[in-house]
Amino acid sequence: MRPTDAPLDNLHGGRKGLCLVLSAPSGAGKSTLVARLRAEFPGFAYSISCTTRAPRAGEEDGVHYHFLSRETFISRRDAGFFAEWAEVHGNFYGTPKAPVEEKLAQGHDMLFDIDVQGALQLKQVFPQALYVFILPPSKEVLERRLRGRGTDAEEVILKRMRNALGELTQAVHFDYHIVNDDLEEAADELRAVYVAGRARAICRPGLLPGLMAQWGPR
């Protein structure tokens, strides 16, 4: 586990939360990379999405997703509950707006694991966020991973493979492309993107004034 740089930032007057947005074709390994990043940086606030898809084995309501009926999702969507939403592989997914605004205001970094359409919507709302696209090393490996995961029916796998090409087409709009071939290398690159992002001047608004104040009034 790696310590956060909170003490340094507290010393210099607080910091602003960073948004790290990850997208990938299903099966590329995004959940695996997200789990590693969250284990390494436990201070990350994670956006728990709403979805209309059925829970998979081991998934808990309120932990992995908020599992909603289609009717509830649509009524929340129409009431402006979501920062972004999209229909992915035949199900609705959306990011609840209020917890995001709350966490960012408290200075927490936020991690988003969302589909390409949703990420591009978020770009309108949070243009200063970091947008990372996780690529599979090849079509063959992507299909093998989808099957190897053993969680989805054959027709779901084929649908996800068909959708992958459209998603790859949108990857040009992302800031970073990380190939998840060797897991360690991909995790290293993702960590590097995040750590560098945290050092951006806009995330440390208190740093410079705090340091300059040591010279006394001008």
Does 94 interact with ligand 5GP (rule: CB under 6 A)?
yes
Does 115 interact with ligand 5GP (rule: CB under 6 A)?
yes
Nearer to ligand 5GP, 118 or 136 (CB): 118
C-alpha to C-alpha distance for 46 and 44, rounded to whole angstroms: 6
| 149 contact, one of ligand 5GP, ligand ADP, none, CB 5-8 Å limit per kind | ligand ADP
Q: Specify whether the CB–CB gap between 115 and 86 falls below 8 A.
A: yes
Pick one of 21, 114, 134, 186: the residue that binds ligand 5GP (CB under 6 A): 114
Q: Which residues bind ligand ADP (CB under 6 A)?
A: 24, 26-32, 145, 148-149, 180, 183
Strand ranges (DSSP E) for the chain? Answer: 19-23, 45-46, 50-51, 66-67, 82-88, 91-96, 110-113, 130-135, 176-179
Structure tokens at 33: 């990379």
| 145 contact, one of ligand ADP, ligand 5GP, none, CB 5-8 Å limit per kind | ligand ADP
CA 131, distance to chain mean position in Å, is: 8
C-alpha to C-alpha distance for 187 and 184, rounded to whole angstroms: 5
- Least distance to ligand 5GP, CB of residue 4, Å: 25
Nearer to ligand ADP, 29 or 197 (CB): 29
Name residue, tokens 């995961």. Answer: 149
The site for ligand 5GP (CB under 6 A) is made up of: 26, 49, 53, 84, 86, 88, 93-95, 113-115, 117-118
